[in-house]
Chains A and B, each alone.
Chain A
């Protein structure tokens, strides 16, 4: 098992792989977005079509799950960036894993529970914010006692389970994908020399393709569930 490169800074511990991966992907997304939207026209060109298609896709996720019109406008941007960010972080480990010695430098940041929990936390905090903005603090707390008051503790527990399922689902999928890819590449391929290498190449390819698919699905699921949780907070049950 490879070791993460952890360093301390200002009393906080940082994992280098996650920082490199996320920063890299953020830069890539920013550049791609700027490149795609360099010339915005009323009659869309090809590049504009691509970004509009993605935006439409995430907008539809938002509109399907959040009924509140005011929240929709803000969440459109959140869903768009979140989807691109998580999607690209999911794909990063598929084609780029940099290991120096025994320490991991570049891999999918989402193959790490801390990353997925961070994003799940963001979603949760956003949902609290939208809920409080919509109903006020009193109304927000009262919503936990809906539809009947004895459901209050269950609704409270639901917040925690929401947070855990949202983050661990993404983490589990991407981590399993990376583990299997590493197993194929590091353990299966060199086990019996040339024959297993030849056997491992198509296997790795198939699994990579599947992982790309899983990464996309999981990004979609993550954004959709984020919107479901936020949508639940801004609508009265």
Chain B
């Protein structure tokens, strides 16, 4: 009864053949769509999914690597900073050493020059004195000669000779 009203649209006919036909068409459609569209597309979607997973993994790896690299670089930078300060301090101490050495050398040289100058001066003084002494002797002898030739009495001559002899004896 209910089925009669239900199939009002099909006007009393219950065409079972259609069911069979739909089944066949649907199965053929399933097979063909699977072969031509669904298979390749879902394969590609799966492949893309895998690729995205791989890409994400490798991106994570790369990020980690970059982090490690950055850390290394920072450490290297710190090291090089330390090295630089060390080099600068070494250079400073070296410069100080050299400068003090140079000052000391200069001092020494100045002292030696001073000494030499002093010695030279003394030598010059001695030489001058000696020369003066010799000249005084010559001049005195010449004066003496002149005085003697002018008026040398016998007494004076005697005294002079005595004095000379005395000087010889001493």
**A10–B16 alpha-carbon span in the complex (Å):** 11
Q: Quick one: given A52-B45, A113-B10, are A80 and B33 in contact (CB under 8 Å)?
A: yes
Whether A34 lies near B37 (C-beta < 8 A) is yes
Q: How many residues does chain A have at the interface if contact means C-beta atoms less than 8 Å apart?
A: 51
**A29–B38 alpha-carbon span in the complex (Å):** 12
Q: Quick one: given A85-B29, A115-B22, are A13 and B14 in contact (CB under 8 Å)?
A: yes
Whether A77 lies near B30 (C-beta < 8 A) is yes
User: For B26, what are the chain A residues with a Cβ–Cβ distance below 8 Å?
Assistant: 26, 81-82, 85, 119, 122
Q: Quick one: given A19-B21, A30-B32, are A113 and B6 in contact (CB under 8 Å)?
A: yes
Query: Is the C-beta of A18 less than 8 angstroms from some C-beta in chain B?
Result: yes
**A153–B20 alpha-carbon span in the complex (Å):** 30
Closest chain A residue, CB of each to CB of B39: A77
- Among A100-149, those with CB < 8 Å from B are 109, 111-115, 117-119, 121-122
User: For B38, what are the chain A residues with a Cβ–Cβ distance below 8 Å?
Assistant: 33, 55, 76-77, 80-81
A40-65 CB mask vs B (1 if < 8 Å, else 0) is 11101000100110011000000000
- Interface CB pairs A-B, < 8 A, 16: A1-B11, A6-B15, A10-B17, A14-B17, A15-B15, A15-B17, A18-B15, A18-B18, A37-B41, A41-B44, A52-B41, A55-B41, A84-B33, A85-B29, A111-B9, A114-B18
Residues of A within 8 A of B (CB): 1, 3-4, 6, 9-10, 12-15, 18-19, 22-23, 26, 29-30, 33-34, 36-37, 40-42, 44, 48, 51-52, 55-56, 76-78, 80-82, 84-85, 109, 111-115, 117-119, 121-122, 168, 175
SS class, residues of chain A in contact with chain B: helix
B118-157 CB mask vs A (1 if < 8 Å, else 0) is 0000000000000000000000000000000000000000
B59 to chain A, nearest CB (A): 17
